[in-house]
A and B are shown apart, each in its own frame.
Chain A
Amino acid sequence: MRTDEELMLLFREGSREAFEELFSRHHRAVVRFAWRMTGDPSSADEAAQEIFLRIARAAPTYHPTAKFTTWMYTVARRTTLNYLRDTKEDGEKVPILSAGETEDGVYPVQLPGPDDRNPEQVVWAAQLTERFRTALGELPEGHRAAFVLNRGDGLSYEEVAQVLGVTVQAVKTRIFRAREMLLSRLSNDLSA
């Protein structure tokens, strides 16, 4: 099986099939990333379309100096950032709360005790997920991107640093700050 980097080079040389294979491999991850960064389905759809357009446009200048996915997420992050900025400039508020959502009806979720199962295996109720998505959307973009890329897409601190163009230490700090802010906003839900 060809690597992503090989496929991108083939696409640069004019292979449509290479791009179709890249699309098949990565479109779900791109849509997920756009969804986590923009916070609503229609924005995620438009941003994800734009990400693939930019990837295709940038093909002539692509050089495999880094992993394709690192490059792809760099394009994805810049595209969603521009998208969010454009949305704000247009006077539209970046969606944070979904339609009909209220502050009422929150059911705190008890985390397991120290001797119980791994906290990462906690089943997230739909309502908690929605509140989490809202809290995620309220983070500063740079913190949100670092946290989403690491925890959501599985990039290492080093890879996140490359995508964001910052140091590894900066990534470490951003992710820690993101966690603090999320815990502060979800303190009622994540009582221990």
Chain B
Amino acid sequence: MGCRDIRESISACVDGEASPGEAAAVREHLASCERCRVLERQMRAVGAGVREVRGSVPDRFREVVFARLESEGALPKRKKVVPTAWRWVAVPLAAAGLGLFLLTSREGIREPVPSGPATAWVGTSPPRALSPQGNGSALSTEDREMLAMLDLLEDPEAFDANDDEEGMELLAPGDSAEPPNPPRRGRSGV
């Protein structure tokens, strides 16, 4: 095979993409052709050159890209969550408050359970039955506080909703807490 005909195969060999037969033909040719051996080395050098053209990631590239994505609604919103630590603090605090109430409340210890038909409690939990809305005039301030705490414990979602505004935003690694720059638009405007 002549030099002109085998050059494309040499290029494929340099890239490791030549078929076994093609590679054998190239090896045979190079063994006897100094000019093509030089060409083969130059082809390798040119291939290495493209990896030297690296560029670098522009400053604030991530912030700019994510700001543009958010401005056009192409990115899901970040999830707002209540910090886990607050959840663990809230339950013991509420339990401690309840215990304190039971120890100090005169009504809670001395007064008998309101009399009435036994069936009045069936199917309804006492805290619910004693809701401030249903029997507000019979409850003391401490009762109301206790019930508020119990409602909170029974309905964690209410807790989350109350605390949502104070929820911390989760930041991904590399994110900045600072607001991103205004988005840059590409020249193409596509």
Interface residues of A (CB under 8 A from B): 11, 14-17, 19-20, 23-24, 27-28, 31-32, 34-36, 41, 43-50, 52-54, 56-57, 59, 79, 82-83, 86-87, 90, 111-112, 114, 118-122, 124, 128-129, 132-133, 136, 147-148, 150-152, 156-157, 172-173, 175-176, 179-180, 182-183, 186, 190, 192
B37 to chain A, nearest CB (A): 6
Q: Are B187 and A87 in contact (CB under 8 A)?
A: yes
17 additional contacts (CB under 8 A) given A151-B50, A152-B51: A11-B76, A17-B172, A23-B66, A27-B61, A28-B57, A43-B187, A46-B184, A46-B188, A48-B61, A49-B68, A49-B184, A119-B45, A129-B53, A151-B48, A175-B12, A179-B11, A183-B46
B42/A190 in contact, CB under 8 A: yes
Q: Which of A14, A43, A45, A179 meets B76, CB within 8 Å? A: A14
Name the interface size band of chain B: 35 or more
Q: Which B21-58 residues have a C-beta within 8 angstroms of A?
A: 37-39, 41-58
Q: List 30 A-B contacts (CB under 8 A).
A: A11-B76, A23-B66, A24-B173, A27-B61, A45-B58, A46-B184, A46-B186, A46-B188, A47-B186, A49-B65, A56-B74, A56-B75, A83-B187, A86-B188, A111-B45, A120-B48, A148-B50, A150-B15, A151-B51, A152-B51, A152-B53, A157-B17, A172-B11, A172-B12, A172-B17, A175-B11, A176-B7, A182-B49, A186-B46, A192-B42
**Inter-chain contacts of B110 with A (CB < 8 A):** none
Interface centre among B43, B44, B45, B48 (most CB of A within 10 A): B45
Given A44, A79, A132, which contacts B55 in the complex, CB threshold below 8 Å? Answer: A44
The reply to whether A23 and B58 contact each other, CB–CB distance below 8 Å, is no
Asked if B106 lies at the interface with its beta carbon under 8 angstroms from chain A, I say: no
A109 to B55, CA, bound (A): 22
Contact call A16/B74, Cβ cutoff below 8 A = no
Chain B residues, Cβ within 8 Å of A32: 54-55
Binding site of A, secondary structure by majority: helix, strand, loop or mixed? helix
A152–B47 CA distance with the chains assembled, in angstroms: 8
Q: Does B8 contact A (CB under 8 A)?
A: yes
B50/A53 in contact, CB under 8 A: no
Bound form: Cα–Cα A48–B188 in Å: 12
- Are B43 and A179 within 8 A (Cβ)? yes
B56-78 CB contacts (< 8 Å) to partner A: 56-58, 61-62, 64-66, 68-69, 72, 74-78
CB contact between B58 and one of A31, A90, A124 (< 8 Å): that residue: A31
User: With A114-B37, A133-B53 given, is the CB distance from A16 to B188 under 8 Å?
Assistant: no
Any chain A CB within 8 A of the CB of B190?
Answer: yes
Partner-A contacts on B (CB < 8 A):
7-8, 11-12, 15, 17, 37-39, 41-58, 61-62, 64-66, 68-69, 72, 74-79, 172-174, 184, 186-188, 190
Assembly CA distance A61 to B142 (angstroms): 58
For A43, the chain B residues whose CB sits under 8 A away are: 187
Contact partners of B58 in chain A: CB under 8 A? 31, 41, 45
Instruction: Give the complex CA separation of A151 and B79 in angstroms.
Output: 41
Nearest B-chain residue to A137, judged by Cβ:
B53
Contact status B52-A27, CB under 8 Å: no
Instruction: With A83-B188, A129-B52 as known contacts, state yes or no: A120 contacts B44, CB within 8 Å.
Output: yes
Q: How far is the CA of A56 from the CA of B11 in the complex (A)?
A: 37
